[in-house]
Structure 1
């Protein structure tokens, strides 16, 4: 049975009930019929929290199932109903960080027309790589100013689901390489920072840019020809 991914439609859900569909005793892992825990992927780390009274230490998606690695304690049985709770402070920090990266992408695309080449995040810190060669003069200060202006604008963030054939024709999504999503995926999830940035994305985000907080560009680096790295920190 495929795990229903509750976070795709409600990123602010941080407690839920579910049924255990499989147990890996050796790996101390549980699969569920539904989960609000985000599994590592797309540059966003997994959630932590508690499940069936056990600490959740890792979350991974394997095929259609999401596996939750848990700490010491008696494992529930297949078919048992369990309660899960997300570490909300960590999740919310990751949501703010992920949204900050989308703001950065939108600002850079709109100002310089340069696409993303990679990225990664931790709670309230992140890095993202872009196809600059070289970085424009005074880039760090300028992009920080532009990003924080978008935070202050408090733009709403909307999540929608588009049929694949519609999504691949959307010019705003072409640069996010919708075509690279497996053809077995019939529906594309789109995160739209209204008026700034629209991306095919499976991660969790805050409901508006104003919830991100102050963004600071802490460093820019060259990672080779046509690949420049920007490191961010997010503060209250």
Structure 2
């Protein structure tokens, strides 16, 4: 049974990813900072027919926590097939470039950028043991420099000096990582679930968590001919879903 680790999986899109991947027959490690809350979520999922799910404590800003999670996965499965770097924070709004504090920006980057790198680097050893390793970095359309330079883009006026820039950096890291792993069976992509109504944005987005999770899975659970080093967005209205960087 293939295994998947989803960070930030105890609510919203991460939780829906857990449900859908469980139904697809994968063993899901539900990554959560609070193990007690994670176990409560898994219990409820089990009661509703979702199986092969285990809560695993992982704080993406804490290297000891990440290593402990890696050791659990290694002991129980010996490998990891899919890593979905879903954990993220928005930071306090508004985020003007002229006065958003360095402390605020660093806090957002610590989770959205450095946290992804820490988790990915720690789990690469286990991913390399998989026959079809996949890494999906959950990003945002707000990380697209091309779209942010287009006055006709519907989110053009929503600039964020911490959140958006952290996702731009994450996109750049995704490209670099995909290139490094291009001669191995890895598929590494940045995936934007679109503007989705979640706890993250006080349920203001027009998209649903079901659509967001399905989109992420579509571009994660791919065959050997699937793309790597690409940026997909659920807000792009063509069949490719490819977003400009």
Verify same fold: TM over 0.5.
no
Higher-Rg structure is 1
Q: TM-score scaled by structure 2?
A: 0.23
Q: TM-score scaled by structure 1?
A: 0.24
